[in-house]
Amino acid sequence: NERKALTCGGASSFEALETGRRRGEGANTGIGKAVARDLARRGARVILACRDQQRAEAARQDIVKETGSSQVLLMQLDLGNLQSVRSFAENFLKSESRLDLLINNAGVADRGKTADSFGLNFGVNHLGHFLLTNLLLDKLKASGPSRVVTVSSITYKMGKVDFSCLTTHRDVALGNSDRDAFIKYCHSKLCNILFTYELAKRLQGSDVTCYSLEPGMVNTEISRHGTFFTQVIWTLVGLLFSIDVDSGAQTILHCSLQQGIEHLSGHFFSRCAPLMNMEPKARDDATAKKLWELSETFCGLS
């Protein structure tokens, strides 16, 4: 039954691709690793797409040891470098015959810029995933029914999309303090939701569905490269409110594997259920369309 759930309508194999990021949370740590382990245990061919190859290889070996699967692979990907995203997509399309599930799980809450001079949170959390998904869409369509799952956060409620700031400064907000970094993270998580919302519209009539979600407050390593103050805050919040990584992985797995949710494409999930009372800014058609078009311009797709 597990295998049938994974094979997506009778396909001969099930291939899952999960993104990761060295300076935050991704496929080689936390909930990303827990998701990869679960998929491997079910018999999926899992590709971990990560920047830090040393940490990712250690994670891959752990997953192989725990699951007995020989179908856990590792590929180089830096979502903070658009050329790296293009190179990854080119190599993936050459080497892999199908893609049933793309999990956009990389996340960073930090200061700084990407290799392309975008704000780090916006560049990694939104723009890198945006380009990667678009470059792999034809493969996803050819492998259908398939899914795109993007990990966001309930902190989207504190986010906004400032197009003037994006156009002028290539970032979602100004400032370089710890507080500014957190606010930028919130903005980027709203971008994740708007991206999924617009993507669902553009995928209508295809066999590809997409979902965004919040995994809950999971005690991960997302702040490990932040300042001492940032790490203390995240640690205190985690001790008070966090859940373990296996519990945090459940909504990702639900959106990835649950049959019968195809009609909910574009929705935001929490605790394995769609949230129907989303804030209006997360369902704004004009903002979602404008963000998509600006992201296309930033990525050189338009």
pLDDT at residue 19, as a whole number: 75
Q: How far apart are CA 290 and CA 189, in angstroms?
A: 16
pTM here is 0.88
Q: How far apart are CA 50 and CA 38, in angstroms?
A: 18
Concerning whether 211 is annotated as a catalytic residue, the answer is no
- Amino acid at position 249, single letter: A
Contacts of 78 (CB under 8 A, 6+ apart): 21, 51, 84, 85, 115
* Percent of the chain clearing pLDDT 90 (strictly above): 77
Strand 15-19 with 45-50, pairing? parallel
The per-residue DSSP string of 271-297 comes to TTEE-SS--GGGG-HHHHHHHHHHHHH
Q: How far apart are CA 62 and CA 70, in angstroms?
A: 12
Instruction: Exactly one of 156, 185, 197, 211 is catalytic; name it.
Output: 185
- Which CATH fold topology does 14-299 show? Rossmann fold (3.40.50)
The domain limits of the chain are 14-299
CA 72 to chain centre: 19
Tell me: the pLDDT tens digits for 250-288?
999 999 999 999 999 999 999 999 999 999 999 999 999
Tell me: the pLDDT tens digits for 43-102?
999 999 999 999 999 999 999 999 999 999 999 999 999 999 999 999 999 999 999 999
